[in-house]
Amino acid sequence: MSVFCDVPLSAPVAVFQLTQDFNNDPFPTKVNLGVGAYRTDDGQPWVLPVVKKVEKVIVHDDRLNHEYLPILGLPEFRAASSRLVLGDKSPAIMESRVGAVQCLGGTGALKIGAEFLRRYYNGNNNTKTPVYVSAPTWENHNAVFASAGFEDVRSYRYWDAAKRGLDMSGFLGDLESCPERSIFVLHACAHNPTGIDPTQEQWRQIARVMMRRQLFAFFDSAYQGFASGNLERDAWAVRHFVSAGFEVFCAQSFSKNFGLYNERVGNLTVVARDADSLRRLMSQMEKIARVTWSNPPSQGARVVALTLNSPQLFDEWKDNVKTMADRVLLMRAQLKAKLHALRTPGTWDHITQQIGMFSFTGLNPKQVEYLEKEKHVYLMASGRINMCGLTTKNIDYVAASIHEAVTVVQ
Amino acid sequence: MSVFSDVPQAPPVVVFKLTADFKDDGHPQKVNLGVGAYRTDDCQPWVLPVVKKVERLIVEDCGLNHEYLPILGLPEFRSAASKVALGEDSPAIKENRVGAVQALGGTGALRIGADFLRRWYNGTNNRATPVYVSAPTWENHNGVFTDAGFTDIRPYHYWDAAKRGLDLSGLLDDLEKAPEHSIFVLHACAHNPTGTDPTQEQWKKIAEIMKRRKLFVFFDSAYQGFASGSLDKDAWAIRYFASEGFELFIAQSFSKNFGLYNERVGNLTIVAKDSDNLSRTLSQMEKIVRTTWSNPPSQGARIVSKTLNSPELFAEWKGNVKTMADRVLLMRDQLKTKLLALGTPGTWDHITEQIGMFSFTGLNPKQVEYMIKEKHVYLMASGRINMCGLTTKNIDYVAQSIHEAVTTVQ
């Protein structure tokens, strides 16, 4: 008799199941608009030219070895990453109250931040502090905070399905009525899955309420540069909160903007009120990292550090990022144009108003099922599509398929 | 006022503090016998030639990209790693009841295994299941299992300070007295920190009791190949337990035997009674991984996988491993010889009887302090030395220093 006989089978992660179904589908014009990774116009993964270049530099550098990194990670990576999101001239950095933990992608940064907050925020080991995530949000947010020990993960209103935009009054209402010191997970830009971001004025309002009600700001920044093509613009919200005096956590991912998905490059930037608090905080972060992965992987961090710290490579990288962002913007423009030309029922402005990799099309689950089964176009049950899955070669087919789904299925 | 104002300062991890003190020391003859990483006879880190070769192959391979690995990791890495531990002809593998989770070094493998056991072993979420670790053991074992939620971590007798060897009767007694279903963390070979392993006969006795008393076997295998120079020899205990029908976990690290410390290459091998239990277990492992690091880093796993799966590279790697193991054995031999020649009080047979990277010298804390302060020879307060820190150039000085410490300080 197995000691594992009572272990239940867990359901597969939806987005990966979708890709698997897509892979198993032999239909010649199938399209995968599911998992969030960039694709070229040929529907291929793209290793950024600057990444390829830097990988070669690394492999030929005989001064490098494979000795353990410090627990908190590669120092030049951590510093450059924090500078990237907060700005080179960030007063908080100059005041020595910014720290960072190199982590395993955005997920790892969220995890370490969550583990820390559960232990040391709002009391000691206060598992009851409410954690608010947007409705909807990336499907892993809830699980990361729950597995870190938080018992009360709630949603704040965000997506207004009727107007296909931000439910600002609902959002502000939740900020006003939640318990003080609640933790709020905010998407720095390119909200996943809706693609709808607050405007700068809306962010200012959000910040004012959060400051007054002593709410904790935990930013998830997975698309800096990738959203608008502009690094500063995509970091505006985070920088605003810091300049408004917040202490914040910012989980940064370099999976998308460096295309380094599988090297797990992430950074948890921590902004504290003063250097002493920061020091104590970082010492506890070390303890958490030590019992989770001991110290982080080197390869991806080296690639990012070398790139960010070299003016020439940094420029080249910004260019590569703009290439990706521009293709996405082009696909957005073209999809909307084609749906308009087809006179597909409904409004489609949201396709170009939304930003980043994802679009919440507004398609309902039945229409999504139709697209998958009848048209072999794969997307999330929520109606979320990955714009990167669109190419000049398949966009007509996708537009026509959406048109069919919307007119045939209600 | 900072929300972090009550966060206490955590003490630094001892072994890294030791290395930091060593770095700050200006003494020309200083020696670092602390942290566990291999050093050449020039006291330099060593990137294995086969690793350098494979890294070049990887960077030149245009067929590779950076797309996310599956949650459980690179399939060819996982299967090759499990095969290395269990053997080419492993019946368990042939019977499809062996699975694996690519993890972040040995630490990550222990962590995922511990997280799983706390959730699903011996009931559901049974935090009270006792977890036994050897006295002494790697300092992070306790932290990892505690952080995974276990509330009852206990030592089992292991090191006999008086006879400088294994306290077998104490160990067997603890096995007899432990509550049924307790989890035991066993060192597969090259016990850290004592270097003292059970003999094959002793392992058989241990296994007999563990089977009878339904104790769970969790192997920590960080030195396969590195200990004796032979992969098969170092895996004897693991393979014996597998052949005896145990279900078990093996946390494998490729940090030392591949010298890939900073790429975090590890594997949690799972041996279950049958493939059905295995697949349910793996599905739950996926859930845990998803909320910890989402999916693992590619670089190190690719290197190990390419190497293990190519007969030529595999042979080359075994040669590199033997080089390291042989140098350690030489240093053991020479240190004992020199201490005997100096007539240093005490017995020193344990230096050559112990195996692997570490030796428990038997020096007491006062003698250790003398070594550090007066002789600038850095070692752990427990008396543990890293044999890799010894070279033909410093071994006379170290032997002399030990002699002084033992004769001057009691």
Given the residues B30, B83, B115, B138, select the one marked as catalytic. B138
Q: Are A210 and A328 members of one domain?
A: no
Q: Are B104 and B238 members of one domain?
A: yes
Instruction: Report if residue B114 sits inside a domain.
Output: yes
Residue A35 has pLDDT above 80, yes or no: no
Q: What is the CATH number of the domain that holds A365?
A: 3.90.1150.10
The amino acid occupying position A331 is M
Buried b (16+ CB within 10 A) or exposed e, A249-270: bbbbbbbbbbbbbbbbbbbbbb
Q: What is the CATH number of the domain that holds B267?
A: 3.40.640.10
Q: Are A267 and A332 members of one domain?
A: no
What is the domain count for chain B? 2
Q: Are B241 and B289 members of one domain?
A: yes
Query: With contacts defined as CB-CB under 8 Å, which chain A residues touch B96?
Result: none
Q: How confident is the model at residue A12 (pLDDT cuts 50, 70, 90)?
A: confident
Q: Are B299 and B329 members of one domain?
A: no
Q: What is the pTM of this model?
A: 0.97
Q: Is the peptide bond before A28 cis (omega within 30 degrees of 0)?
A: no
> Domain of A333?
14-48+324-408
Residue where a domain stops, chosen among B309, B338, B357: B309
Instruction: Report if residue B318 sits inside a domain.
Output: no
> Domain of B216?
68-309
Mind listing the pLDDT tens digit for each residue in B367-380?
999 999 999 999 99
Q: Are B87 and B175 members of one domain?
A: yes
* Burial grade of B386 (CB within 10 A; 0-12, 13-18, 19 or more): buried
DSSP string covering B101-166: EEEEHHHHHHHHHHHHHHHHSSSSS-TTS-EEEEES--THHHHHHHHTT-S-EEEEE-EETTTTEE
Q: Are B141 and B233 members of one domain?
A: yes
Instruction: Report if residue A43 sits inside a domain.
Output: yes
Q: Are A20 and A168 members of one domain?
A: no
Contact B100, B72 (CB under 8 A): yes
Query: With contacts defined as CB-CB under 8 Å, which chain A residues touch B181?
Result: 3
Q: Are B23 and B160 members of one domain?
A: no
Question: What is the number of other CB atoms lying within 10 angstroms of the CB of residue A20?
Answer: 13
Residue where a domain stops, chosen among A309, A338, A371: A309
Please state, in angstroms and rounded to a whole number, the distance separating the CA atoms of residues A78 and A122.
Answer: 26
Q: Are B303 and B352 members of one domain?
A: no
Q: Are A223 and A368 members of one domain?
A: no
Q: What is the CATH number of the domain that holds B395?
A: 3.90.1150.10
Instruction: Report if residue B8 sits inside a domain.
Output: no
Q: How confident is the model at residue A239 (pLDDT cuts 50, 70, 90)?
A: very high
ipTM for the predicted complex comes to 0.96
Q: In this structure, what DSSP letter does residue B7 have?
A: P
Contact A185, A137 (CB under 8 A): yes
**CA distances (Å), origin A366, targets A69, A269, A351, A382, B165:** 50, 41, 20, 10, 69
Residue of A64, A103, A108, A71 lying closest to B260 (CA atoms): A64
Task: Tell me how many degrees the CA angle A375-A381-A387 measures, rounded to the nearest 5.
Answer: 70
Instruction: Report if residue A319 sits inside a domain.
Output: no
Q: Are B295 and B178 members of one domain?
A: yes
Q: Do B295 and A262 touch (CB under 8 A)?
A: yes
Minimum Cα–Cα distance from A259: chain B residue: B66
Residue A410 has pLDDT above 90, yes or no: no
Q: Are B290 and B338 members of one domain?
A: no
Q: Are B232 and B354 members of one domain?
A: no
Q: Are A153 and A277 members of one domain?
A: yes
Instruction: Report if residue B317 sits inside a domain.
Output: no
Name the minimum distance, in Å, from the CA of B83 to any CA of chain A: 22
Instruction: Report if residue A335 sits inside a domain.
Output: yes
Q: Are A168 and A237 members of one domain?
A: yes
Residue where a domain stops, chosen among B309, B342, B367: B309
Query: With contacts defined as CB-CB under 8 Å, which chain B residues touch A279?
Result: 9
Please state, in angstroms and rounded to a whole number, the distance separating the CA atoms of residues B152 and B107.
Answer: 20
What is the domain count for chain A? 2
Contact B300, B81 (CB under 8 A): no
| Extended beta strands in A34-117, E state | 98-104
Q: Are A189 and A146 members of one domain?
A: yes
Q: Are A155 and A249 members of one domain?
A: yes
- pLDDT exceeding 70 applies to what percent of chain A? 100
Instruction: Report if residue A281 sits inside a domain.
Output: yes
Q: Are B260 and B360 members of one domain?
A: no
Please state, in angstroms and rounded to a whole number, the distance separating the CA atoms of residues B379 and A7.
Answer: 44
Mind listing the pLDDT tens digit for each residue in A189-213?
999 999 999 999 999 999 999 999 9
Mind listing the pLDDT tens digit for each residue in B295-337?
999 999 999 999 999 999 999 999 999 999 999 999 999 999 9
Q: Do A13 and B5 touch (CB under 8 A)?
A: no
- pLDDT value for B163: 87
